[in-house]
Structure 1
């Protein structure tokens, strides 16, 4: 049994007769308590809104309603110097199949959610698999759809579905302006440094960055003070979420080593179509949900193929995630719940 399988082991679901404290201690051996597992258990949703304020990162699924305390925290975060942005992922425009008969419609709904958050995001990041088959028509369609986002800037990174047959050239013609190499880049805003990586072009099994891109990261980080908050975007996870399914990046540890000197690092990815959070020291990894179709939890199916759920349950599976993070803390305060 892998560590990931242990996170979802039914022996720790609170029904095995063990006291809650004992169950938590058992799960903690695998890096996650049962209560944390329950907070991480959402698996399908829309856009994820993230706020960075005073060293704290807070996220939630767009279109949700929080508690009075959460609303007050959000209002406080709206002050001067606050950064708020939105992550969407895995829209798979062009997909046709029973898992979602209208991916364009669900992505339009995600765009509408972003536009009704109650604030104007500083930017929106799409973390890959914008399209399903990387055709020119699909890239044009998703670009036009994202033009409806009420934000000043839209950023993207490519997924493997955006690189089919041409090593990402069609993607870069549409979305690669101002990028380096095969589409990587960085930028700064509100005192936060952002890096957008491409790990989907050399896929034999796992994601891969390559020496040129790792050298870019080394030079990019060299002049930054260690107390600079750093956020890294990629499509495939930069941690070994489930290598058997390709949910990992084979040379990511070389980048992680460069990031360890920073006091606050957040890595945001797509690809896995489900919410998952992992913390290693000062680095927190968040896997995003999707606007297209769910994928199975690792080890619960022979392969990561689109999962068909009853149509009436697709929107019921949308969820809310609130994440609190303060510089220097080793743990996240995470809450996930459905929007039913």
Structure 2
């Protein structure tokens, strides 16, 4: 993808900022559990054989407007919470929009700060803010996880198969982006060697279900990807992009969006909003709106047991 849309760059650069929270995930016996970054780990998180990792999203490094001139500080606050967890996570995942305007200095700064996390490594997927002007070429100079020069990859850890997808290459405001035929073919081949009893965790920036089509909050060919995933007994899909927590469960597939570490966006389809923009709140109210969520996802059950905990409570 190649674009010189100056108006889009300026529009992305003018977004207001907000600070959010990280999400901590643990998998034990194929059962993923999400723990808020400031929540004391449950016994299951430290159980023998459990795999604990953290999720952050939408850090937008490079943003410097008045609503939050210190997005680096917001990220470091989340990192401090993660590093203070009683059960150290094995690694971190970042579900897109690492940078604000996909500039080399923003990617470099982000990678430098990520090294402050007390984890072995961080696995990322690109967001649309990471794909301005030259597609994801600039992003891949810093975050090419398998050295193959593409935005999708997979890895195995702790008995879990992880898949990182890219669904922002053809991003255009107000339209549905897509994974594309090449990536879907790769996904089919990648999953072919994975046992149906193996837990699957999928990372992608834009949600893999249609939340609000007029805003482009969905992936046009997500049904094809989900069809490949449905035979597996436990599938957890982690997304960012919409800067708020929503979830959907379809059989053994659970899909979750995450809060941003930069700014909130309006609720899907909010009346009077033609195109989603940042929601600003009084500084004293931020802590009441930031929070953590514990989710217990049990393979084969449709209902999720949830506990939400605001940071200021």
Q: Could you tell me the TM-score, scaled by structure 2's length?
A: 0.89
2:67 & 2:284 partners in 1: Cα distance? 12
Q: Which structure 2 residue ranges, 5 or more long, are not aligned?
A: 1-17
1:289 & 1:143 partners in 2: Cα distance? 20
Matches within 5 A, 1:89-104: 89-104=57-72
Equivalent residue number for residue 35 of structure 2: 60
> Does the Cα contact within 8 Å between 1:99 and 1:309 map onto a contact in 2?
no
Q: Give CA deviations for 1:17-47 in whole Å, capped at 9, x if unaligned.
A: xxxxxxxxxxxxxxxxxxxxxxxxxx97311
Equivalent residue number for residue 230 of structure 2: 260
Q: Structure 1 residue 279 and structure 2 residue 249: aligned? A: yes
Q: Structure 1 residue 323 and structure 2 residue 305: aligned? A: no
Matches within 5 A, 1:67-82: 74-82=42-50
2:53 & 2:29 partners in 1: Cα distance? 15
Q: Could you tell me the TM-score, scaled by structure 1's length?
A: 0.82
2:178 & 2:63 partners in 1: Cα distance? 25
Q: Structure 1 residue 223 and structure 2 residue 193: aligned? A: yes
2:187 & 2:278 partners in 1: Cα distance? 34
Does the C-alpha gap of structure 1 residues 178 and 320 become closer, same or farther in structure 2, counting only changes over 3 Å?
Answer: same
1:203 & 1:187 partners in 2: Cα distance? 26
* CA shift for structure 1 position 227: 1.1
* CA shift for structure 1 position 182: 2.5
Equivalent residue number for residue 34 of structure 1: none
Equivalent residue number for residue 8 of structure 2: none
Does the C-alpha gap of structure 1 residues 145 and 154 become closer, same or farther in structure 2, counting only changes over 3 Å?
Answer: same
1:114 & 1:127 partners in 2: Cα distance? 16
Q: Give CA deviations for 1:212-256 in whole Å, capped at 9, x if unaligned.
A: 110110000012221111110000000001111111000111111
Equivalent residue number for residue 309 of structure 1: 281
1:316 & 1:142 partners in 2: Cα distance? 27
1:114 & 1:47 partners in 2: Cα distance? 8
* CA shift for structure 1 position 198: 0.4
> Does the Cα contact within 8 Å between 1:44 and 1:274 map onto a contact in 2?
no
1:44 & 1:277 partners in 2: Cα distance? 21
2:156 & 2:178 partners in 1: Cα distance? 25
1:281 & 1:307 partners in 2: Cα distance? 33
Worse overlay, 273-282 or 76-85:
76-85
1:199 & 1:276 partners in 2: Cα distance? 18
1:124 & 1:55 partners in 2: Cα distance? 18
Equivalent residue number for residue 337 of structure 1: 309
Q: Give CA deviations for 1:236-287 in whole Å, capped at 9, x if unaligned.
A: 0000011111110001111111011111111000000001111111110000
> Does the Cα contact within 8 Å between 2:123 and 2:145 map onto a contact in 1?
no
Superposition RMSD in Å: 1.6
* CA shift for structure 1 position 179: 4.6
2:219 & 2:154 partners in 1: Cα distance? 19
1:226 & 1:321 partners in 2: Cα distance? 28
Equivalent residue number for residue 16 of structure 1: none
> Does the Cα contact within 8 Å between 2:20 and 2:74 map onto a contact in 1?
no
Q: Give CA deviations for 1:60-112 in whole Å, capped at 9, x if unaligned.
A: 221235xxxxx5xx224313211000000000011132442221110111111
Equivalent residue number for residue 168 of structure 2: 200
Q: Number of paired residues?
A: 291
Matches within 5 A, 1:89-168: 89-168=57-136
Q: Give CA deviations for 1:150-178 in whole Å, capped at 9, x if unaligned.
A: 00121100000001000110100111141
Q: Structure 1 residue 84 and structure 2 residue 52: aligned? A: yes
2:248 aligned counterpart, secondary structure = strand
1:207 aligned counterpart, secondary structure = coil
Worse overlay, 178-187 or 188-197:
178-187
Does the C-alpha gap of structure 1 residues 244 and 78 become closer, same or farther in structure 2, counting only changes over 3 Å?
Answer: same
* CA shift for structure 1 position 181: 5.3
